[in-house]
């Protein structure tokens, strides 16, 4: 019996687990102190009333023989019609407001229990021989999942110089390209022209883009919310979406991934491959969660979830105003729940993380946890309660 | 860009998808006929009232800021304390009634969205160089998931001669051993002594047993419900469990997997590896589902779900009586929701499947879909409504 030895190349534990442990240790040492968590990207607002109503109804349906639902239908890989149609309409709205003549077909949408699962599951489709291109800094799950598969990983630097929005050059390597916009951790958002550069690059190379759009709902104005707003993307991109941040579903668990029919490599449809993967290793997202997700995309649901996001956007403004006031350099926060700040001189990511934890009782995420390129930075999220966000900013002001 | 070429070695579609398509075609050609489905193992009874109540309350909690739950806790890999404790007590009861001094610790339990996901996820832990040992016939997802990884697969024959309960011999190969008891598709259940033979074999070889206990709740009497009732199993086995059949959760989605701390290979803890895998590629089962699952394991919940299983057990009796009356050879149905029958002379699995579909309007599962060893057999399930089960049996009687 041989284990998958690639696991031995991983750091001991997933970044957020480690940070939790350090915060718990600090709390143990200072039981009187109330720690404020601006670290992990977890939401705090309750679900929208429309979503709650739909999920209660779904539970009631499961309580009666006449309306009971077992396994979700095989036909569209366990996505219910009502949710697939709602996701299709969601894309229609995005495309319409972007002036794009695109459409996402039902067979192209794969409903799941969340984006993190899909990001892991999709890797089954690709040979271990592909080189992975990751921005640096980057969401650590992209990195770790590929280390587990033993793929070669190369980086493209996201830095102040390129506004944390790296673009490919003639020297850029990689067949499996991860892009996340609005970005985690930097909050940077690609423009249409920039994404077009990536799409053209991927098409010319026969590469595939895994486009993480988990934060698309936070985009306001002109910037693209979907890679499929970009011409040619249907031939080179897969888009991974989530209800976690859009509708507060971190505890409910529902997401979806779009694999366009045109996306073929080595003569094989990746849509067909993913369908085969999902029908073998997955059995569908909860009926209750699917009903909730569809309700979140309804007109009333969209209004309610927008109100909820407005709450987080207000938090982002409070954080941004505070950092500005303190003279800290930062980016993000405009079309994103994340604010990416630069540590003051003399601090590393970790020493600044410890300083904020121990001196201010504020839990942040050290930039170095997102890769070498994150060294010297820290990430704040706008997902805390407003009162806590205000207090965290006051604590920072008192400290510096 | 290279795809994972192992996918090209798969059959075109997952067995149950193909059968659905054939049934749909038959329905299209005979729109007047009401087809009865005794094929796929999906439940039809509504959820237990205790489960419904708990899930409604969970939804309500998510509706209020004070009681909202986001991501499940990292500490035990996204399992909530209340569910982990309930699963621990469930094992205590099983072990107590078996007279076994074992205990499952909280850190050994991984809560997920279902057994099929876990069966897929666990494969990440093992090298592609391991040889997989599968019974034949077998649940096709075991086979397909390993084909996707390119592992060598060998078979051990489950046949009438060994009561569909194969045991290892000196010649038996394989480092990754799949056992399913009560078995899908044959309904056969291993005795304690038989499982001990497998455990001893695995320990002697350093192999790992993946023990699929999805149907454990259907075991009555002496036969083991958990492989951890067997001495030494903690050093060589992983157990995969589900609320799908136990509590009717096929649409709710919740399962769990036990990876004992003692299970180490090449000096590495498989518990630690699975923890690392899950924190990287998974984000927890729905809070609502976890609350429902805990309720299903409560005293009241256990009483209610037992009533529900009694309904299916009665269906199994109806089917068994019918097959006996017709003179069909069969096994299973006693401690299992599956009945495994032998096709009448002159029929192959597929010709008998088509005969039952077209002549009786009864959808079954052809044995050949579970591997070469299933040729000449058919699988019936007890999960349909009782009225439909009775009618299906009547139709068979009219036909033969």
Tell me, what CATH number does B241's domain have? Answer: 3.40.640.10
- B74 CB neighbours in chain A (<8 A) are 16-17, 20
B202 plus B118 within the same structural domain:
yes
Shortest Cα distance, chain A CAs vs residue B344, angstroms: 31
Say if the Cβ atoms of B124 and A148 lie within 8 Å.
yes
Say if the Cβ atoms of B113 and A286 lie within 8 Å.
yes
List the one residue out of B126, B128, B133 whose CA is nearest residue B148: B128
Number of domains in chain B: 2
Q: Is the Cβ of B206 closer than 8 Å to some Cβ of chain A?
A: yes
DSSP at B126 = B
CA distances from B23 to B11, B30, B350 (A): 19, 10, 13
Phi/psi-derived region of residue B365, left when phi > 0, alpha when psi is between -120 and 50, beta in every other case = beta
User: Could you say which residues from 225 to 244 on chain B have a Cβ atom under 8 Å away from some Cβ of chain A?
Assistant: 244
Say if the Cβ atoms of A127 and B2 lie within 8 Å.
yes
Give the E-state strand segments of chain B in sequence order.
Answer: 36-37, 109-112, 131-136, 152-157, 176-180, 208-212, 237-242, 255-258, 264-265, 268-269, 330-332, 338-342, 362-363, 365-366, 377-381
Question: Could you give the maximum distance between any two Cα atoms of chain B, in Å?
Answer: 67
A180 plus A269 within the same structural domain:
yes
Say if the Cβ atoms of A46 and B69 lie within 8 Å.
no
B66 plus B194 within the same structural domain:
yes
Q: Are strands A377-381 and B131-136 parallel, antiparallel or unpaired?
A: unpaired
- B266 CB neighbours in chain A (<8 A) are 1-3, 5
Q: Residue A225 belongs to what domain range?
A: 49-298
- Asked if A153 and A146 touch (Cβ cutoff 8 Å), the reply is yes
DSSP H or E run through A29: helix A15-29
Cα–Cα distance, A85 to A297 (Å, whole number): 10
Which of the listed residues A283, A298, A313 is the one where a domain comes to its end? A298
Q: What does the pLDDT read at residue B174?
A: 97
Q: What does the pLDDT read at residue A269?
A: 98
Tell me if residue B365 falls in helix, strand or coil: strand
Say if the Cβ atoms of A280 and B71 lie within 8 Å.
no
Sign of the alpha-carbon torsion through B283, A6, B175, B7: positive
B288 plus B177 within the same structural domain:
yes
Cα–Cα distance, B58 to A270 (Å, whole number): 37
Q: What is the pLDDT along chain B (400 residues), one digit of tens a residue?
A: 999 999 999 986 666 677 888 999 999 999 999 999 998 789 999 999 999 999 999 999 999 999 999 999 988 999 999 999 999 999 999 999 899 988 999 999 999 999 999 999 999 999 999 999 999 999 999 999 999 999 999 999 999 999 999 999 999 999 999 999 999 999 999 999 999 999 999 999 999 999 999 999 999 989 999 999 999 999 999 999 999 999 999 999 999 999 999 999 999 999 999 999 999 999 999 999 999 999 999 999 999 999 999 999 999 999 999 999 999 999 999 999 999 999 999 999 999 999 999 999 999 999 999 999 999 999 999 999 999 999 999 999 999 8
A42 plus A66 within the same structural domain:
no
Q: How many CB pairs under 8 A join A and B?
A: 264
Listing DSSP states for B235-267 in one string gives: GTEEEEEESTTTS--TTT--EEEE--TT-EETT
- Flag whether pLDDT at A107 surpasses 70: yes
Shortest Cα distance, chain B CAs vs residue A18, angstroms: 10
Mean pLDDT of A42-69: 97
Cα–Cα distance, A65 to A62 (Å, whole number): 8
Q: What does the pLDDT read at residue B15?
A: 66
B261 plus B332 within the same structural domain:
no
Which of the listed residues A298, A328, A343 is the one where a domain comes to its end? A298
Shortest Cα distance, chain B CAs vs residue A151, angstroms: 12
| Helix (H), strand (E) counts: chain A | 11, 15
Shortest Cα distance, chain A CAs vs residue B270, angstroms: 8
Q: What does the pLDDT read at residue B21?
A: 86
- B289 CB neighbours in chain A (<8 A) are 286, 288
Q: pLDDT tens digits, residue range A24-41?
A: 999 999 999 999 999 878
- Flag whether pLDDT at A48 surpasses 90: yes
List the one residue out of B229, B275, B148, B38 whose CA is nearest residue A277: B148
- A388 CB neighbours in chain B (<8 A) are none
Q: What is chain A's mean pLDDT, rounded?
A: 96
Question: In degrees to the nearest 10, what's the CA dihedral of A42, A43, A46, A52?
Answer: -70
Q: Which residues contact B66 (CB under 8 A, 6 or more apart)?
A: none
Give the CATH number of the domain where residue A394 resides.
Answer: 3.90.1150.10
CA distances from A182 to A54, A57, A190, B248 (A): 29, 34, 7, 40
A319 plus A211 within the same structural domain:
no
Q: Is the Cβ of B282 closer than 8 Å to some Cβ of chain A?
A: yes
B76 plus B183 within the same structural domain:
yes
Query: What is the side-by-side strand order in the sheet with A176-180?
Result: A109-112, A255-258, A237-242, A208-212, A176-180, A131-136, A152-157
Q: Is B162 exposed, middle or buried (0-12, 13-18, 19+ CB in 10 A)?
A: middle
Say if the Cβ atoms of B125 and A7 lie within 8 Å.
yes
- Flag whether pLDDT at A18 surpasses 90: no
- Flag whether pLDDT at A13 surpasses 80: no
């Amino acid at each position: 019996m041989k284990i998958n030895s690639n696991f031995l190349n991983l750091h001991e534990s997933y970044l957020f687990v480690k940070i939790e442990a350090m915060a718990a240790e600090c709390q143990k040492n200072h039981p009187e102190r109330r720690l404020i968590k601006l670290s992990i990207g977890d939401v705090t607002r309750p679900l929208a009333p429309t979503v709650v109503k739909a999920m209660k109804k779904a539970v009631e349906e499961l309580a009666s023989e006449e309306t009971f639902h077992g396994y979700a239908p095989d036909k569209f890989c366990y996505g219910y019609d009502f949710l697939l149609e709602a996701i299709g309409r969601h894309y229609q709205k995005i495309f319409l407001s972007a002036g794009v003549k695109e459409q996402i077909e039902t067979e192209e949408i794969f409903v799941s229990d969340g984006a993190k699962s899909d990001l892991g599951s999709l890797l089954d489709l690709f040979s271990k021989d592909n080189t992975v291109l990751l921005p640096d800094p980057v969401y650590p799950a992209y990195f770790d999942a590929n280390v587990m598969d033993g793929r070669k990983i190369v980086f493209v630097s996201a830095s102040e110089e390129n506004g944390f929005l790296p673009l490919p050059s003639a020297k850029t390597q990689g067949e499996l390209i991860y892009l996340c916009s609005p970005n985690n951790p930097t909050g940077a958002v690609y423009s249409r022209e920039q994404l077009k550069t990536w799409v053209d690059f991927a098409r010319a190379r026969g590469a595939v883009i895994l486009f993480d759009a988990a934060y698309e709902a936070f985009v306001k104005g002109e910037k693209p919310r979907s890679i499929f707003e970009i011409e040619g993307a249907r031939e080179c991109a897969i888009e991974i979406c989530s209800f976690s941040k859009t509708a507060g579903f971190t505890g409910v668990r529902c997401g979806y991934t779009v694999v366009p029919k045109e996306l073929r490599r080595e003569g094989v449809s990746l849509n067909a491959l993913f369908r085969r993967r999902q029908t073998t290793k997955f059995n569908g997202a909860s009926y209750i969660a699917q009903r909730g997700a569809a309700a979140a995309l309804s007109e009333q649901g969209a209004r309610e979830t927008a109100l909820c996001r407005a709450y987080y956007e207000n938090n982002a403004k409070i954080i941004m105003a505070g950092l500005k006031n303190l003279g800290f350099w930062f980016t993000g926060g405009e079309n994103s729940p994340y604010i990416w700040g630069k540590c003051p001189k003399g601090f590393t990511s970790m020493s600044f993380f410890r300083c904020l934890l121990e001196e201010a009782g504020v839990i942040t995420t050290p930039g170095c946890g997102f890769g070498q390129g994150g060294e010297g930075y820290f990430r704040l999220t706008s997902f805390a309660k407003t009162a806590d966000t205000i207090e965290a900013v006051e604590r920072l002001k008192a400290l510096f």
